[in-house]
Structure formats: C-alpha cells, structure tokens
Amino acid sequence: MYLELEIAQIIPNPNQPRKFFDEEAHKELSASIRENGLLQPVVVRPVEGEEAPYMIVAGERRWRASKDAELATVPTRVLEDVSEEQAFVLSISENVNRADMTILEEAGAYADLAALGWNPKKIAGKFGKTETHIKWRLGLLTLRPEVAEWVNEGKIKPNLAWHIAQLSAPNQIIAAMRYLKGDFDSEADASNFAQGLRMAEQQVSLVTEEAPNEEEKEKREKAKKQTKDKLAKVDEVLMPLLDELTKVKPEELATILGAELGRYVREIDRLANKVTLARRVLRQANGIAQAREVAWNSALEEVETKADEPAAPEAPAQPEPESKPEVEVKEDPKPEVKAEPKPRTRRPRGKAAASA
C-alpha cells in the first residue's frame, strides 16, 4: 500500500544498521529533493506505542534529506504485518551493498542477525554473500574502538583490519599505528606483521623459553648458512642473467631464438611464478621476525620492570617468647584451730550447798 504521509508521522528505526551518514552526501541529496521532490518512496510499517504511527523500514537517508528539504509529506510504501526481524532484514538488504555503509555497520548488522539465531550460511544466502565474507566481517567486531574508527574512515582496509582484530588490545594498537606511520612497504607486509604478533601471543612465554642445546644450535647455524648461500646465488647468478637478457632488443631475440622463443617464454613465466611465491614467503617471514622482536622487547621490558620494583619488606621475625622458669606454687599453711577451753563449773558452797 502506498500513502503520502506527513514527515511527523514517521520515526526512524532505532535498530537501523546504518549509524553513519555522510554529511556531504546528505546535503547533496537534500538539495536534489528540494529541487525535484522525493522520487523513491520511504518504506515504513505501522507501529503502536511509539511517538508516531509509522516506523522506517528502509529509506532513513531519504527521510532525513526530505526533512531538511522542508517537505511536509513524503511518498511511502506501507508494509502491513511485518515483524521486527523481517523489517530488520529488509533494512539490511537495502543498505548492505551501498558504498557508504561502513564495513563495521555491515558486521554489526550480521551480528544482530546471528543473535536472532541466523548462522553465517543463512546470512550469506540471504544477502548474496559468501559464508567466508560473513565470517570475516563478524571477525572485525573485536577491534578496539579507535582502530574500528580508522577502519570506518578507510585508513585501514578490511583484509588488514581482520588480521589486526585477531590480536590482543595492546597489539592491535601496535600493528595499526605502525601501518598508519608507514612502517610497511605494503598492506600485505602489515598483515604478515599482524600474523606474526598473533603467533607470538600464542606462545606461552618468550622469555622463559628454554635455550637450545649445543646440538640444536649447530643445526640452526647450518640451516642459516645453507639458506643464505642459496639466496646469495640470486644476486650472483640469476640477476646478472636477467639483467643481460633485458638489454637485448626484441628483434634480435626473435632472430637468435626463432621458433624456440615460446619455450623460453614459458620458462620465464615459471620462474616469475616461483619468484612471486618466494617473495611472498620471505615477506611473511619478515613480518614474523619483526613481530617476534616487538614481542621479545615487550616481554623483556616487563621482566626488567618487575626486577626494578622494590621488593616488599619482609616482616621482622617475631622473637620466640622466653620460657619462664617454673614457679613452685606453695600452698599457704592453714592456721591451726585451737579448741576453746570448756567452762569450769563452780560448786556452791555453804548454805547453798546444803539446800541443794
């Protein structure tokens, strides 16, 4: 059903997946609507118990621009009997492929659906994405707020952002700041560094790791020498050959090699593929080495900080109480009780005795 509704009869959806609206694009759309009117209707649904009778399902950007263009009414498409979940899905459908929807807004929308019981496969099928795409977007939600802001601003690309999101909060800042400062030759190098930090985090301890024994040290030194010798041959043998080849004019090569050129082209292609693979491996190794250095320095700093902390003073030993000599308790002698003398009876004399 299509209705012409007053602007005041419509309220935005508080669960709208888009939170960021480009101010410049908003001004341009508002000017266009003021000049030509709103050509695409705003999709709404009836609601009860709200400030207005209708809530936006899709088209909040158009509604905002119409409001600023001072339109009294806007054309709307009213959806009857639509649940909140259905309305939310429709809102995502309208916005998910728009260039001005940030990837973290997209990730947040998928997370809301996941909270409603949608798995990545179902979300992917609904919006025409791959399951991997959905999982990678969801993985961005662990980014620190400041790093997430850099991602929204386009300073950090989605692929690198995902690798950074796998790190602890302090390491997220380290990886992001080093990338923004230009410490890496490419985004891939920054991703390799982030992966190296992740590997370091998963180790129990870099400081307390047992030192290699003599046999292990010898093996490492031998492997190091062999690898360095092989890489040195790139400069000694391969580079001069390629440098010499590039100096020959194409027409001369055509004359010299003739029909065999096709075979050499295939050989060079194979070499190029191997060089690309070797370059990737070396860059990954470099990222891991840089990350280990950062992790090692952090761990060492932590140990030194703890060592510099004054030790808590030990409580003075309490002296053992001196044993008092046993005192012999003597009972006080009981006083002797003397028997009182019996009174003596005096015999009467004289008349008294005779009368008795």
Pair of tokens at residue 279: 């370059």
Query: For 211-227, how does the pLDDT look when each residue is reduced to its tens digit (9 = 90+)?
Result: 667 787 788 788 878 88
**pLDDT at site 327:** 45
For 53-95, give the DSSP string: SEEEEE-HHHHHHHHHTT-SEEEEEEPPS--HHHHHHHHHHHH
Lowest mean pLDDT among 26-35, 185-194, 232-241: 232-241
Dist. CA 234–CA 241, nearest whole Å: 10
pLDDT of residue 178: 94
Phi and psi dihedrals of 65, rounded to 5? -65, -40
Does the pLDDT at position 355 exceed 50?
Answer: no
How many other C-beta atoms lie within 10 A of the C-beta of residue 46? Answer: 13
pLDDT top residue among 66 and 354: 66
Q: What is the pLDDT at residue 295? A: 66
- How far apart, in Å, are the Cα atoms of 318 and each of 23, 228, 314, 321, 324? 73, 64, 12, 9, 17
Q: What angle do CA 339, 344, 347 make, to 5 degrees?
A: 170
Residue with tokens 């001072």: 70
Which tokens sit at 25?
Answer: 């694009």
Q: Which amino acids are annotated catalytic?
A: 60
SS3 call for 331:
coil
Residue type for 39, please? L
pLDDT above 80: residue 324: no
pLDDT tens column, 303-312: 455 555 555 5
pLDDT tens digit sequence for 52-64: 899 998 888 899 9
**Mean pLDDT over residues 3-26, rounded?**
84
Question: Average pLDDT of 112-141?
Answer: 92
- pLDDT at site 307: 52
Residue 99 confidence class, pLDDT cut points 50, 70, 90: low
Cβ neighbours, 10 Å, residue 8:
11
**Nearest of 36, 35, 40, 27 to residue 68 by alpha carbon:** 27
DSSP tag of 329: -
What residues form DSSP beta bridges with 54?
Answer: 10, 46
**CA distance to 138, 193, 316, per residue, from 284 (Å):** 25, 8, 56
Length of the chain: 356
Confidence of residue 16 (pLDDT cuts 50, 70, 90): confident
> In the chain, pLDDT over 90 holds for what percent of residues?
32
Instruction: Please give the Cα distance from 262 to 338 (Å, whole number).
Output: 147
Percent of the chain with pLDDT over 70: 78
Given phi > 0 = left and psi -120 to 50 = alpha, else beta, which region is 128? left
Distance CA 112, CA 104 (A): 12
**Mean local confidence (pLDDT), 285-298:** 73
Both tokens assigned to 109: 């929308």
Question: Of 179 and 316, which is predicted with more confidence?
Answer: 179
Q: What is the pLDDT of residue 298?
A: 62
Beta bridge partners of 86: none
Given a contact cutoff of 8 angstroms between Cβ atoms, the answer to whether 73 and 6 are in contact is yes
CATH of 1-101, one of 3.30.70.20, 3.40.50.720, 3.40.50.10190, 3.90.1530.10: 3.90.1530.10
Do the beta carbons of residue 193 and residue 184 sit within 8 Å? yes
The distance in angstroms from the start CA to the end CA of the chain is: 151
pLDDT at 288 over 90: no
| Domain spans in the chain, listed from the N-terminal domain onward | 1-101
Query: Each residue of 205-217: b (16+ CB within 10 Å) or e?
Result: eeeeeeeeeeeee
**Mean pLDDT, rounded, for 327-354:** 46
Q: How far is CA 30 from CA 34, 73, 316, 344, in A?
A: 6, 14, 78, 142
What pLDDT is stored for residue 169 in this prediction? 92
Q: How far apart are CA 177 and CA 188, in angstroms?
A: 15
Examine the pLDDT at 113 and tell me if it is beyond 80. yes
Distance from chain centroid for Cα 211:
32
